[in-house]
Amino acid sequence: MKKHFLLKSLSCVLSLLFIFSLFCFFAAAETETGSSNASNPAAYVYVRDKANVFSDEQIQRIYQKILDERSKLDKKGKSVLFYVVTYPMDNSYDRYTGDDLLSEIGASISDDIIALVITKNLIVGSYTWSDPWYYDLYTYGDALTAISEKEVDRILDDGKVYNNLKFRDDSEAKIEGIEAFLDKSGQAYAGRLGAPFGKVLLIAFIIALLGAGLVCLGVVLKYNMKTKQNIYPLEHYTKMKLNDSSDVFKGSYVRKRIIQTSSGGRSGGSSGGAGGGSGHRGGR
């Protein structure tokens, strides 16, 4: 009887502990969700929406993407600050540049910074500024040397970056373009922006073709060695005496082929976009 009472008491205690654990778990989960959904004031420092393109929630999403990219780089022992700025350009033709950003945040050109400036053109149709959107890349500090000119073009000409930032007006498309920009620029800064898939495929095909050619050549040479017949000195078995020999060539020809090279795609360099000033790497 006493043993049965103890077992029942122990069962009740374990049940209470289990219920208490579940309560603590869901309370912690709710607290974590609430904190992640809360507005972070730091978002408005790194995402400076001067053109009023995004809602507060969208600004928080962009800022979270910035934090994710910084976290990836931190794990590799690298550190850089990402900034995203939207700016409206009106009839005054006043442009926002990287120098303006440095002045606002109190930074210098020696600080490690990667900045994306998206210009919303409010004077579409003018001779000089005919596109509704422009975007520019600025790099400072170590980012200036870590990201090469070729990588700059690959970042700016990436399909998701170019199509969403240059042509599409809706804010969700702009966010998709910004996220692609952050991905590519973060990879370039970390030295992980690999060659395009088409180029890798072409190199692999050429290597495979060369390997197959060498194998075929080896097989042919080995076959010829096996089927090659012995050469016997005829003077030992015949009465013919060869006094002289010569080779007479009846004619010759030379085949020539012109190899043409061309470079395609968009080339940005430091031109394009609406930006300028120090740290300007290129724009579209």
CATH number at residue 89: 3.10.310.50
Asked if the structure places residue 107 within a domain, the reply is yes
Q: DSSP per residue over 145-199, as a string?
A: HHS-HHHHHHHHT-HHHHHHHHT--SHHHHHHHHHHHHHHHHHHHTT-----HHH
Domain span holding position 85: 43-196+271-283
State mean pLDDT over 16-28: 56
* pLDDT for res 200: 53
3-state secondary structure of 124: coil
The answer, yes or no, to whether residue 230 has pLDDT greater than 70, is no
Q: Is the model more confident about 269 or about 192?
A: 192
Say whether pTM exceeds 0.95: no
Asked if the structure places residue 220 within a domain, the reply is no
Please give the single-letter amino acid code of residue 181: F
What is the count of structural domains for the chain? 1
* pLDDT for res 123: 76
Q: Is 9 left (phi over 0), alpha (psi -120 to 50) or beta?
A: alpha
3-state secondary structure of 18: helix
C-alpha 8 chain-centroid distance: 63
Sheet order of strands, 133-140 included: 47-49, 81-89, 113-121, 133-140, 280-283
Q: Is the model more confident about 186 or about 239?
A: 186
Geometric angle at alpha carbon 266, from 263 and 268, rounded to 5°: 115
State mean pLDDT over 147-161: 95
The answer, yes or no, to whether residue 166 has pLDDT greater than 70, is yes
With residues binned 3-state (H G I as helix, E B as strand, rest as coil), the percentages for the chain, rounded to 5, are 50, 10, 40
| φ, ψ (nearest 5 deg) of residue 151 | -70, -35
Quick: pLDDT tens for 64-80: 999 999 999 999 899 99
Asked if the structure places residue 192 within a domain, the reply is yes
Asked if the structure places residue 279 within a domain, the reply is yes
